[in-house]
Amino acid sequence: MKKLPLNIIIFMGLTAIFPLIDFLNGFFLTSGIPIPIGVLYRFFFFIFLLVMIVVAKIPKTSLTFVTFLFIAGNLIILLFQSILLQNPLAWIIEDVSVFVKYFLWALIPYYIYQRKTLFMSMNYEKIFIVISFLFTVFLLVPYVLGVGHQTYDNSDAGYKSFFFAN
């Protein structure tokens, strides 16, 4: 297999470490340390994807049109809503941090789509093994130690860990 470009290696690394980031985020929040590691990670991942998508050749396909329409439409809705409701800047920043998570679900597949020939020629199944392993370990460690919090607020449903689902 030929050597992978640096942007693919960074993408794979950012994708593989997300369970670690969510674990650390939950650990810090549970410990009362307000470090927004999850927000910083997702913002960096978002900026990385935007830059990599823009610097690569953008194919003129219906998927490109739908992806860009989706992002532009949601940004227009956010802007319109913020102006109409006269939201304070703090609320707009909170909304943008939620939209970053939301847009990652569109940008990650589009990034892969742009580089589909590279991704089809490489063995990337190992990344799913790493993610599955890390996720399992980061669920079991707090569970065994009896620390963390329930998955859902106001009930005993779910598991006890540092991941937030509420």
Any idea what DSSP says for residue 154? Answer: T
Question: Per-residue pLDDT for 60 more than 50?
Answer: yes
Query: How much is the pTM?
Result: 0.82
Residue 33 burial class via C-beta count within 10 angstroms: exposed 0-12, middle 13-18, buried 19 and up:
exposed
CA distance 63 to 59: 9
SS3 label, residue 160: strand
Q: Which domain holds residue 79?
A: 6-161
The confidence band for 49, taking pLDDT boundaries of 50, 70 and 90, is: very high
141 vs 150 pLDDT, higher one = 141
In a domain, 40, yes or no: yes
Q: Is residue 98 domain-resident?
A: yes
Q: 166 lies in a domain?
A: no
On whether residue 19 sits in a domain, the answer given is yes
* Mean pLDDT computed over 59-66: 94
Round the average pLDDT of the chain to a whole number and report it.
Answer: 84
Q: Which residues pair with 70 in a beta bridge?
A: none
Most confident of 22-31, 57-66, 138-147: 57-66
Q: Is residue 12 part of a domain?
A: yes
Chain position carrying tokens 């847009």: 103
pLDDT band at 58; cut points 50, 70, 90: very high
Q: What is the pLDDT of residues 75-120, one digit of tens each?
A: 999 888 888 888 888 888 888 888 898 899 999 999 999 999 888 8
Average pLDDT over residues 14-41: 84
Q: Is 71 buried (19+), middle (13-18) or exposed (0-12) by CB count in 10 A?
A: middle
How many domains, the chain? Answer: 1
Distance between CA atoms of 90 and 87, rounded to whole angstroms? 8
Cα(60)–Cα(57) distance, integer angstroms: 9
